[in-house]
Structure 1
Amino acid sequence: MNEVMTMIRKKMSGFALSALLASAALSGFGTESAASAAAAGSAPNAAAACRTDNHGLALKAMKDTSDPYLGSIQFLSTNIGRAAGNGFMIGTSDAGCHWQSIYNTGKLNFTQMNFLSNSKGYVLAQVAYGKPNTLLKTTDGGASYTWIPTGQHPYDRIQFLNEQTGFGYTRAFTYKTTNGGKSWSKLPTPPNTRYAHFMTEQKGWAIVVLATGGYEVKRTLDGGKTWSDSLKVKTASNFGGMIHGTDSADVWVLLYGESGMSQTSYSVYHTADAGAHWKQVISRPTAGGGPAPGPVVPSGKLAGPAGRPTDMAVVGRQAAFLIAGSGALDALQFGRSLDDGKTWSNLPGAAPGYDGKLSFPSAKSGYLAVTSFERPAVYKTADSGKTWKKVFSLPASQ
C-alpha cells in the first residue's frame, strides 16, 4: 500500500499549479485571487456564434486510450458547468455556448465531479486507465489537485455535503469523513447492501439484496446506527440499483432486473412521505431480461425509457429525469416526471449514443453528456428534456 501511495504522490507532483492555471482560460473558473484571475485571462467574445464542435480544443487522451471521451458532467447553475473525461476537463460559463480547457494533461481519467463551489470541489479519477478511483481535491476550479487518502477503499462514488463532511461509497460499504478526508470512518450499513445514499449526515437510504431473491429498501435516521425496513420488492434475481433525491423524505429508487440481448429489465419506485407509502412509477420487463422487479404490470402500462438506465437526476420535490441506453439502440432514451411522480412520460431519443450522464441545475435546464466511446458530446435542454441541442462534441472513435 505504501508503494501505491508513493506512486500516486509522484504522479500528482507533476500537476504543477503554475502550468495548469495557464490552461484555465475560461472566465469565472478557479480561485478568485488576483494571480488566478490573471492566469484565467479574459472571457470569450459573447457575440461570437455558439459552436457544436470541439470548440477548437486539442484535448489530450489518457495513455492506453485512443481518443478523448467524456465520463462526467456537473453544472452548478444554468450557465456554469464542467465536463470531463479521459485526460481532460473543460468548462463553460455561458450555458455551453463556449467551452475552454481547465485541465488538459492526459494524466487523469475523471469518473465523477463533486464541486461545491466554482473553485472548490472533489473528484474521483483514475491515475492509470482501468485502475481503481483516486480521490482528489481542487481549490482552483479543477486546474490542479491534492491527493486525498482513503486507505484501502477506492470509492465508486463520492458525495460531499460541504468541504469537511462527505461520504465515500463502495459497492457494499459506506465511509464518512468530517475533516475533509483526513480520516474516514466506516458507517454501519445493513448486510448485503448494494447501494447507499445519505441526504444528510443522519438520514440515508440503502438497497439491500436478499439471498432468496428480491430487494429491501431500508432507511436510517441516526447516521446508520439503526435501519428500518421501508420497501420490499420481489424478484427472481437482484443486481442492485440506484437511489436519488434531494430530500430525505422524497426519494426515488431504481432496481435492476436481469439483462440479455442488449436489454435490461428494471423498475422505479417513489415515495413522497419518507417511505410510509411507495408508488411503482416504472415497470419495464424485456424479452431478454425477463420480468421487472416487483408486481406484474400489464404490458406498456408503466413503461420507462428503453435500454439500461445509466443515470438519474432529481430536482427538489418537483422533477425527476432518467436516461437509458443500449448498444442495440441508435439513441439514448429519456423520460421524466414533472409532478413528483404522479405521472411519467417518455420522450423521443435525446441524443445519439448508448451511455450518458445527466446534470439538471433546475427543472427546465439540464445537460446530458454522451459517455459512450462513439459520438461523445454534450447536449443541453431548456424545456425539461423535450428537446435537446448539441453544445460540444468530440470526434467519433475510429
Structure 2
Amino acid sequence: MMRPFSKPAPRRALAAMLAFAAVLTGFGVSSGTPRAAAAAPAAAAACRTDSHGLTLHAMKDTSEPYLQAIQFLGPSIGRVAGNGFMLGTSDAGCHWQTIYNTGKLNFTQMQFLTNVEGYVLAQVAYGKPNTLLKTTNGGASYTWIPTGQHPFDRIQFLNEQTGFGYTRAFTYKTTNGGKTWSKLATPPNTRYVHFMTEQKGWAIIVLAAGGYEIKRTVDGGNHWTDSLKVSSQTNVGGMIQGTDSSDVWVLLYGDSGMSQTSYSVFHTSDAGAHWKQVISHPTAGGGPAPGPVAPDGKLAGPQGRPTDMAVVGRQAAFLVAGSGALDDLQFGRSLDDGKTWTNLPGAAPGYDGRLSFLSATTGYLAVTSFEKPAVYRTADGGKTWKLLFSLPGVK
C-alpha cells in the first residue's frame, strides 16, 4: 500500500499553490496533458540567463545546489531537478519557477508521462540509495512506491501502469503502477537493459573472458538471442538508446586513465541483423576502444567520457561527453541514422551533462557538474547553445 512520502500541505494552501501554478506556468493543471502557458506579459517578455530570482534549498549535506536531471515534454514545457529542488518552465526556458524546493529530496532521475503525472528516483538523504516516488500534481508533492529490497539505479515507464526498474545487474517489471514488482530473467552478467516496448528489449552483457555481447528479447525477457559480440580489453558497461525496437544505438565503455575514457558506439537499423560501428574512440589514458580497430581519427567521438545520449526518431542521435581535464562539455551528433557522425564545438562550461531533445534541431542541456550548473538550449541541432538559466550562488 502506498503512503504519503512527506506531510501534505494544508488543503487550502495546496489549492492556492496549484491554482497559482496553473495560471502562471501550466504546472499542476488537472487536464493531464502538457500545454503551453499564455504568453508572458510584455513587461516580463525579456528572457533571463541568471538564477531568475530563485533561492534554492540544497540538501543539508551539500553546500551548493546543482542539477541532476532534465526533461522536456514539448516545445514549451520542461523541468530540471537537483539536490533538493525541482524547477519548471512553460515558455521554452525563457522563465523558470519553483515546483519543489524543500531540500529534502535529491532527485537523480525523473520521468513525467504527462504534465501532472510522473515518476522520479530520489535520495531521501545525500548518498543514500534511490527511492521511487510518484507525483500527480506536477512535482509539488510525492507518494512513496515500495520496491522491496531493490533500490533502482534507473526507471523506465511505458505508461502509468507498466514500467521497469533497473539495478546494476537486474531488471524488475511492474504492470500495476508499482504496487508489485517481478524480476525478469535477464542473461548472466547483464549490465544494462532497455525495453523499447513491453515485449521488445535489448541488453548489454559483460563476458568473463573480456568484451561485450548485445542480446535481444522479443517476448518480454523470457528468451534472449545473441545479436552482437564486441571484443574489448575491459568491460565496465555502457548504455542503450532508441525510439523503436529495430533502430538501436549502443554505447560501450573501454578503460579510463589520465582523465580520458575510451569508448565505441554501434548502431543497427534492422533489429540487429546488421551493425555499424559509428564511433571508435581510443585514448592514450584509456587504451583501445571496444570493437574493431579503426584508422586513427576516422571514427572519433566527442572528447571525454560520454555522460548521456539522446535519440529522436530514426534519424537523429546526440552524445555529450566531458572530463575534469576539459573546460567545456563536448558534443557530437548524427542526423542520418548513423551513416555519418559529426563532432561539434564545445557545448557549455562543465564536465558532466544530461540531454533532452525534442527534434533533430531543438534540444536542451543541463550541466550537472558541481561547477557552473546551468541549462542551455539549442535550435540548430547542437551547433550553438544559448544559456537559459544558471543556478544561484554558483560562480
The TM-score normalised by the length of structure 2 is: 0.94
Distance 1:97 1:238, change over 3 A: same
Letter in 1 for 2:27: F
Distance 1:340 1:396, change over 3 A: farther
Asked whether 1:106 is paired with 2:99, we answer no
Measured in 2, the distance between the counterparts of 1:17 and 1:127 equals 22
Say which SS state the counterpart of residue 266 (structure 1) adopts: strand
* Aligned equivalent of 1:36: none
Asked whether 1:137 is paired with 2:130, we answer no
* Aligned equivalent of 2:154: 157
* Aligned equivalent of 2:6: 13
* Aligned equivalent of 1:91: 88
Measured in 2, the distance between the counterparts of 1:230 and 1:42 equals 49
Asked whether 1:258 is paired with 2:258, we answer no
TM-fit CA distance, 1:20: 6.0
8 Å Cα contact 2:6-2:141 kept in structure 1: no
Measured in 1, the distance between the counterparts of 2:256 and 2:131 equals 30
Letter in 2 for 1:196: V
8 Å Cα contact 1:114-1:160 kept in structure 2: yes
Measured in 2, the distance between the counterparts of 1:106 and 1:378 equals 20
TM-fit CA distance, 1:13: 2.7
2:221 to 196, 221, 224: 224
* Aligned equivalent of 2:289: 292
* Aligned equivalent of 2:180: 183
Letter in 1 for 2:110: M
Distance 1:99 1:231, change over 3 A: same
Superposed CA deviations along residues 192-249 of structure 1, whole A, max 9, x for unmatched, are 0000000001000000000100000000000000000000000111000000001100
* Aligned equivalent of 2:28: 30
8 Å Cα contact 1:246-1:316 kept in structure 2: yes
8 Å Cα contact 1:123-1:137 kept in structure 2: yes
Distance 1:67 1:347, change over 3 A: same
1:166-205 equivalences under 5 Å are 166-205=163-202
For structure 2, which runs of at least 5 residues remain unmatched after alignment? 32-36
8 Å Cα contact 2:55-2:392 kept in structure 1: no
Asked whether 1:45 is paired with 2:41, we answer yes
1:268-287 equivalences under 5 Å are 268-287=265-284
Asked whether 1:372 is paired with 2:372, we answer no
Seq. identity, %: 80
TM-fit CA distance, 1:364: 1.0
8 Å Cα contact 2:317-2:333 kept in structure 1: yes
Measured in 1, the distance between the counterparts of 2:343 and 2:288 equals 20
8 Å Cα contact 1:376-1:396 kept in structure 2: no
Measured in 2, the distance between the counterparts of 1:223 and 1:17 equals 43
Say which SS state the counterpart of residue 384 (structure 2) adopts: coil
2:63 to 55, 62, 66: 66
1:225-240 equivalences under 5 Å are 225-240=222-237
8 Å Cα contact 1:72-1:369 kept in structure 2: yes
Superposed CA deviations along residues 302-347 of structure 1, whole A, max 9, x for unmatched, are 0000000000000010100000000000000000000110110000
Say which SS state the counterpart of residue 387 (structure 2) adopts: strand
8 Å Cα contact 1:44-1:98 kept in structure 2: no
* Aligned equivalent of 1:244: 241
The TM-score normalised by the length of structure 1 is: 0.93
For structure 1, which runs of at least 5 residues remain unmatched after alignment? 34-40
Say which SS state the counterpart of residue 347 (structure 2) adopts: strand
8 Å Cα contact 2:56-2:392 kept in structure 1: no
Measured in 2, the distance between the counterparts of 1:396 and 1:236 equals 43
Q: Number of residues paired by the alignment? A: 384
* Aligned equivalent of 2:34: none
Runs of 4+ in 1 over 6 A off after TM superposition: none
Measured in 2, the distance between the counterparts of 1:118 and 1:378 equals 20
Measured in 1, the distance between the counterparts of 2:168 and 2:38 equals 43
Superposed CA deviations along residues 134-181 of structure 1, whole A, max 9, x for unmatched, are 000001100110000000000000000000000000111000000000
